[in-house]
Structure 1
Amino acid sequence: MKFKFNLIIAAATLCITSLSCTKDFVDVNTNPNEAAKVSPQALLGPTIYKTILANIDRNMRINNELMQVTVTTNNNLEFHRYEVRATETEAMWRNWYVELTNIRDIYHSAGIAQQAGFQAYQGISRILDVWVSSLLTDMYGDIPYFQSNLGYKELNTTPVYDKQIDIYRDLFLKLEQANQLLTDNTIPDAQKNMDPLFAGNTEKWRKFGNSLYLRLLLRVSHKPELDAAVKIREIVETKSSQYPIMASHDDSAILYFSSQEPYINPYLNARDIDFNGNKGYSHFFIENLIALGDPRLALWATQPTLGTYLGMQSGYPRGLVPERQSTFHLSLKTSPKLGNILNYAELQFILAECALRGFTFGDSWQHYQDGVNSAMQIWDANVPVNYFSNERVGFFPTDTDETKLKKIHLQKYFALFFTDFQQWYEYRRTKALDLIPGPGLEGRKMPVRMTYPLITQALNKVNYDEASARMGGNTPNGLMWWQPAN
């Protein structure tokens, strides 16, 4: 009986029930059975913060290894050799679904409250829902979506796995709803300090939502089913007045950490040795920053010997561990700038690519320059004189569109530093980065997805089996609707 009870509890947890993230944050009752009594403003800050902390943790562990930001000296199964342990795939599934419960409670509690300004929280909830749901489906493919997070409300602990195309359709619908909900509704002044992203500025939330819309539209723009290119042109040009997007760096969706609770940098009190652990920067990361003459190199990396920056070989053979070279600069431990969700620089690189592909009539070169300038601004760095004259940076008459796309995505790669899994998602979409394959890969391909967590196979087997079969098997190189063929 004890085993059966524990299994039910696990199912209720991992098949998406409500676990409040607010117990360490605010003195508020977050009993999921009384969600209507939880004020949406009380859930907002903790939910954003907890999601970002989980994203940073797995960014360091998974994304950075896959995308040759860092390399570990651990000689076991490792991501930099495209080796994925089955046990590695559960953390984000669990964290994202837990926070989705809180995000959807924001929407429902705001609707029940019927108070002035609370419709704005419904719009914010829709944006956060799309942000987290898109992270989930872009990582795993077909996932529980329409029936998810109903474990405590409807006792549904075996939700159906929905097709990614249907999920994306609904993500776009939610962003349309958010745009409308935030058009004429504001957050009461007394509650604005509970919004850690935009201090209750609903117009900035609206800009964030529509910029997120462009990120996701571009991600699926090579698929004809959703007419993404048509919608991109509407947002950027033909109906731009109805869809405000980020207009400057100040509109960026970044949770700036502080040195005090509740929004501290998660590494603030870490020991120096624990912050870097057993990893160092990769050769790809360091050598590209050197070739670009990029001032962020000195802000991000240490010098193993005076005046020298060096990286490690990613994908080294098992047993041939290279010497660790440049590591994270210790100032990153206290930096307020690691909590990025979507910044203005990324938006400008999105617009540069849209113009390059002919989705819009914009100036790809101008958007690209604006993106570079904003990416530097995030880190209080100045674009060096003649930076755009560098053949690795500027657009030149002899450059093909493919060459320009590679330049856009190299700069975008650095603008996405510490940003969840966006580097990996974008590389899978475009292959526009010239990553350096190491000899230890032994023919393994870059994973196109994380496999479903082991516990889902036991607790939701029928729906797991159906989704796995649809995706060509529950493997790192299975099928995903938007994923281009390797």
Structure 2
Amino acid sequence: MKLINSLTKIVAVAGSFMMLVSCTDDFDSINTNPSLVTPEVMDGDMLLTKVLKNSVFSTYQYNRLTEMAGYAENQGTSVVTERNNSDPLMSHTREYIKPLNHAIDLWEDDPLNANKIAIARIWKAWVFHIITDSYGDVPYFQAGLPVDEAVDQPEYDPQEEIYNDMLNELQEAEAMLTDSEEQLDLGAADIIYNGDINKWRRFANSLRFRLAIRVRYADPQLASDHISDIMSNNKPLIEMEEDMAYIQTEGETADNTSNRNPLYNRSINANIPVYANMTISEVLQMRDDPRLPIYLNPAPEPRDGDMWRGRPTNVSVENQNQLAGTEGQWADRYTREATARLGDLFQEAEYRIKVLHAPEVYFLRAEAALFGLTNENAQELHREGIRQAMALYDVDQAEVDDYMQTGAANLSGSQEDQLREIIVQKYIANYWLSQESWSEHRRTGYPVTWIGTRGDVYDDEDRELQRRYQYPFDEDLKNSENVNEAVSRLSNGDTYRSKFWWDAKEGVPIPHPNKDIFPPERDFD
């Protein structure tokens, strides 16, 4: 669906906050800040619209997160292990959680707003799972409260408690959704599903399935309980493309350019392309995947005939210079002209920014079946996930048929071998859902990623992708007692290496086969 033009009305509502008080014989009016945001001038529907738009758009960027996901690489960025300049903990709480809480407050006195409240609760769970998956323990129960309830120094809740509550919230909010025609409808203010309650049910259940699988290694019983509830009660899930949660950006002629695809806006202003990461290039080439020329544009001037070469992550200065003066020097192998880059489709002005789609849900179900959490057939679900993923990009049917005959589409080997292929296929299907792919890499170890030793914290034996963000400097200053308590629960303190609660699988990270080789590319012939 199109991003509604009425989104710009939010600005008009914000402008109304500046109205001057016309009556001066009332003490309260005289002593009230005329720019103060009060319930009388707020619109819960517009608050939800703004949160949906900004929170989804924020996931579709070219930044460090896309590097950690293995989708893109920019050697000009800071070392991936340095404290992150972006701050989803504070910004997401301030810009998304607090407005959602305020919208719920505006709606809660009217029983006809039950669906609106349920949708806001569902979306809060989506936002919070991004926050906690980035840091671990974070303020949750005391976060983003209304002004009269606000806590200046909120406690950092254990991630286990957060996940238990998010799963329960999704369960309760989905049950709260009703088909009653008396309910007030969000309509166009809902820029994801246009007020379609059945689709919100599917999204809530599918998100709950995602979160249940996320905790499978940390708490198998919790995962099993929620998945069993979904399946035994025949809860509807996202099963087709039409059920997908996404926002359609506006085109080149959009009145508000911020409603266009963020990567389109970048493409018309940036001096450098979005370079492909070695990981996505490698997994596609290894499987002779027909999505390769869709996901990536070939290198304009490929070196050694490798038109799909992606750049490895976190390459050390030593590695960059070790072959200097030889035929294989870094400057020749990974220049702008010798490196593949992001495909055109993903940089078009009009683009569907995906949140959760059918292929991912089929792969979640495949994993659940593989480990006996359901009675479904893992192989059939895996294959359907691939078919649905190919359909998202209109892959030629003959190419799909050929692919379905390969090992990529047919699970075999040990249980771990089969899990690896399920996760890799989900990684391919979730192209540019960077937060989710980073989380799944940390949870499972897949896809296996080559990473260099750039930065003082690395050594040759111990290198891995960043496992979490460090807490913001501002929190160290303003909320140090609670931050320190949260840090004490981390495996390695407030560092990028610390594993938090759900990051519990033994044997991860899994070293890349070419871990000690540079340049690290494999032969795909």
TM-score > 0.5, shorter chain as reference = yes
Secondary structure at the aligned position of 1:436 is classed as: coil
Counterpart CA distance in 1 for 2:186 and 2:78 is 48
**What is the deviation of 1:275?**
7.5
Q: Which has the higher helix share?
A: 1
Q: Which runs of structure 2 are paired with 1:282-301 in the superposition (5 Å)?
A: 282-301=277-296
Give yes or no for contact 2:466–2:496 (8 Å, CA) kept in 1.
yes
The unaligned stretches of length 5 or more in structure 2 are 1-6, 18-34, 321-329, 509-525
Specify the alignment match of 1:43 in structure 2.
47
Matches within 5 A, 1:464-475: 464-472=483-491, 473-475=493-495
2:71 matched to which residue of 1? 69
CA contact (8 A) 1:43 1:106 kept: yes
CA contact (8 A) 1:183 1:206 kept: no
Aligned residue among 101, 107, 112 for 1:104? 101
Alignment match, 1:266? 262
Which residue is equivalent to 2:60? 56
Seq. identity, %: 23
Q: Which amino acid aligns with 2:236?
A: P
Aligned equivalents of 1:89 and 1:207: distance in 2? Answer: 31
1:144 alignment partner in structure 2:
139
Q: Does 1:206 align with 2:201?
A: yes
Match of 1:14 in 2: none
Q: Which residue of 2 aligns with 1:410?
A: 424
In the alignment, residue 418 of structure 2 is paired with which amino acid?
Answer: K
Give the equivalent residue in structure 2 for 1:90.
87
Match of 1:229 in 2: 224
Give the distance between the partners of 2:470 and 2:182, measured in 1 at CA.
40
Cα separation, 1, equivalents of 2:371 and 2:171: 24
**Residue identity in the other structure for 1:61:** N
Mapped partners of 1:129, 1:361: distance in 2: 31
Residue pairs, 1:233-382, within 5 angstroms: 233-236=228-231, 238-240=232-234, 243-259=235-251, 260=254, 263-272=259-268, 274=270, 276-277=272-273, 279-305=274-300, 308-318=307-317, 320=320, 321=330, 322-324=334-336, 325-334=339-348, 336-382=350-396
Q: Give the SS at the match of 1:162.
A: coil
CA 1:327–1:174 in structure 2 vs 1: closer, same or farther (change >3 Å)?
A: same
Gap regions ≥5 residues in structure 1: 1-21
Instruction: Name the CA distance, whole Å, in 1 between partners of 2:272 and 2:292.
Output: 16
Using the TM superposition, give the Cα deviation of residue 142 of structure 1 relative to its aligned residue in structure 2, in angstroms: 0.7
CA RMSD of aligned residues (A): 2.6
Task: Report SS of the residue matched to 1:340.
Answer: strand
Q: Is the 8 A contact 1:339 1:418 kept in 2?
A: no
Instruction: Compute the displacement of 1:26 (Å).
Output: 4.4
Q: CA deviation at 1:416?
A: 1.4
User: CA offset at residue 249 of structure 1?
Assistant: 1.5
What one-letter code is carried by the residue in structure 1 that aligns with 2:469?
A: M
Name which of 475, 479, 484 aligns with 1:456.
Answer: 475
- Asked whether the equivalents of residues 36 and 109 of structure 1 are also in contact (C-alpha less than 8 Å), the reply is no
Partner deviation per Cα, 1:186-221 (whole Å, 9 max, x = no partner): 686874122111111011001100100000011112
Which is further off, 93-102 or 181-190? 181-190
Take 1:367 and 1:335, find their aligned partners in 2: how far apart are those partners?
A: 33
For residue 73 of structure 2, give the secondary structure of its aligned residue in structure 1: strand
Mapped contact 2:93–2:144 kept (Cα < 8 A): no
Distance 1:470 1:53, change over 3 A: same
Q: Does 1:169 align with 2:134?
A: no
Q: CA deviation at 1:230?
A: 2.6
- Mapped to 2, the partners of 1:332 and 1:358 lie a distance apart of 37
Aligned partner of residue 381 in structure 1, secondary structure: coil
CA 1:411–1:448: 2 relative to 1, 3 Å: same
Instruction: Return 405-414 or 386-395, whichever deviates more.
Output: 386-395
Amino acid at match of 1:317: S
User: What is the CA-CA distance between 1:90 and the residue it aligns to?
Assistant: 2.0
State the distance in 2 between where 1:214 and 1:190 align: 26
The size of the alignment, in residue pairs, is 450
Q: What is the rounded CA distance, in whole Å, between the counterparts of 2:39 and 2:291 in structure 1?
A: 45
Most deviating of 202-211 and 63-72: 63-72
- Once the 2 structures are TM-superposed, how far is the Cα of residue 39 of structure 1 from its aligned partner? 2.8
Bigger Rg over Cα: 2
Cα distance change on mapping 1:273 and 1:34 into 2, 3 Å: closer
Measured against aligned partners, the alpha-carbon deviations of 1:147-205 in whole angstroms (never above 9, x if no partner) come to 11137233421111111111112112211221121134468687412211111101100
Deviations 1:426-474 (A, max 9, x none): 1111113222244655333322211110000101111111111222421
1:33/1:186 CA distance change after superposition, 3 Å: farther
Equivalent residue, structure 2, for 1:446: 465
Deviates more, 1:143-152 or 1:259-268: 259-268
